[in-house]
Amino acid sequence: MNEAVPSYLSPTGQEIVFLLLGAVAVGSALLVVTTKQLVHAALWLVVSFGALAGCYLVLTAEFVAWVQVLIYVGAVVALLLFGIMLTRAPIGRSPGLDSGNRVVAAIVAVATAAVLVTVVIDGFRTAYADLTPGRGTAGELGSSIFRNWVLPFEALSVLLLAALVGAIVLSRTDIRGR
Amino acid sequence: MTTHYLVLSALLFAIGAVGVLVRRNAIVVFMCVELMLNACNLAFVTFARQHGNLDGQLIAFFVMVVAAAEVVVGLAIIVTIFRTRRSASVDDANLLKY
């Protein structure tokens, strides 16, 4: 399927690193979906996000990789763990974690994966990005943000403020209007 | 090389989708949504690499920020539902059913 890839039979170092990181990402994502313990799911999510950050590094997207580590591994997973503890989830194995529509979910997942992989391989069979270091540093991304993407950036800051206020309003019990 | 990244992205998206469909705890459903968002981010960064410009990386950055905001509000909603219904299971929040 990859005739156009020059180094398919003799993989370069980048490809080996990518294959290892991809295997780690897919394996830990499968464990997130299948594990019986809630806290373990969050911890496997850390492994998956870390492997994805490594993939971003291989793709020479340094800034995105560090933001991934900071936001996802640092903030989002910590928030999810707090949520698990606040909802008093069982710490040990909890058997009722999966709902009954397992067969339907498997069918949907296989169909999704088949369609996406077929389309991707069909559409990008000859695409080969030669990986050279350079772009993707914080400086370049910053100048691009403040040159071409100022309005979405400002809208995002307002969105973050709205999320902050909304979370405070939702979680306080003494300011309900009833 | 691009194909490999896109296939990885598609696989992660499918795993996240099956998690959203099969899991019962709302927080694990959240984790699987995050997994799907990460798969999309990987596709964005791959296309940015492919086309040699930075717009895909910027959109991946924006997606991360929006996902952080979404997690904050979503967890506040889940905790509020837990407070009133004593359960974090998505099957118990069924008031909208007929």
pLDDT in tens, A142-155: 888 888 889 999 99
Evaluate whether residue B81 is within a structural domain. yes
The total domain count for chain A is 2
Which CATH number fits the domain that encloses residue B67?
1.10.287.3510
The total domain count for chain B is 1
Q: Which residue has the tokens 């959109």?
A: B59
**Segments forming the whole domain that contains residue B70:** 2-85
Whole-number Å distance between alpha carbons of A158 and B3: 37
- DSSP SS3 for B89: strand
Do residues B13 and B36 lie in contact, with contact meaning Cβ atoms separated by under 8 Å?
yes
Question: Whole-prediction pTM value?
Answer: 0.87
| pLDDT class of A3 with cuts at 50, 70, 90 | very low
The pair of structure tokens assigned to A56 is: 């971003």
What pLDDT, on the 0 to 100 scale, is given for residue A46?
93
**Segments forming the whole domain that contains residue A67:** 13-98
Of A87, A109, A162, the CB nearest to B14: A109
Q: Over the range B13-26, which residues count as b (16 or more CB within 10 Å of their CB) and which as e?
A: bbbbbbbbbbbbbb
pLDDT of A10 strictly over 70: no
Q: Which residues of B touch A44 (CB under 8 A)?
A: none
Evaluate whether residue B98 is within a structural domain. no
Of B3, B25, B64, the CB nearest to A121: B3
Q: Where are the alpha helices (DSSP H) in chain B?
A: 2-22, 26-51, 55-85
| A57-89 tens-digit pLDDT | 988 888 899 999 998 888 899 989 888 888 876
Q: Say yes or no: B49 contacts chain A, CB-CB below 8 A.
A: yes
| Nearest residue in A to B55, CA atom | A144
Determine whether A127 is exposed, middle or buried from the number of CB atoms within 10 Å of its CB (0-12, 13-18, 19+). Answer: middle
Which of B20, B34, B57 best tests the A interface by mutation, with the highest count of A CBs <10 A?
B57
| Domain boundary pick from A98, A118, A146 | A98
Evaluate whether residue B92 is within a structural domain. no
Of A48, A101, A152, the CB nearest to B35: A48
What pLDDT, on the 0 to 100 scale, is given for residue A133?
61
- DSSP SS3 for A44: helix
Q: Say yes or no: B76 contacts chain A, CB-CB below 8 A.
A: yes
Do residues A95 and B94 lie in contact, with contact meaning Cβ atoms separated by under 8 Å?
no
E-strand stretches of A39-113 = none
| Nearest residue in B to A145, CA atom | B58
B52-B57-B59-B64 Cα dihedral, nearest 10 degrees: 170
pLDDT of A159 strictly over 90: yes
Average pLDDT over residues B28-37: 92
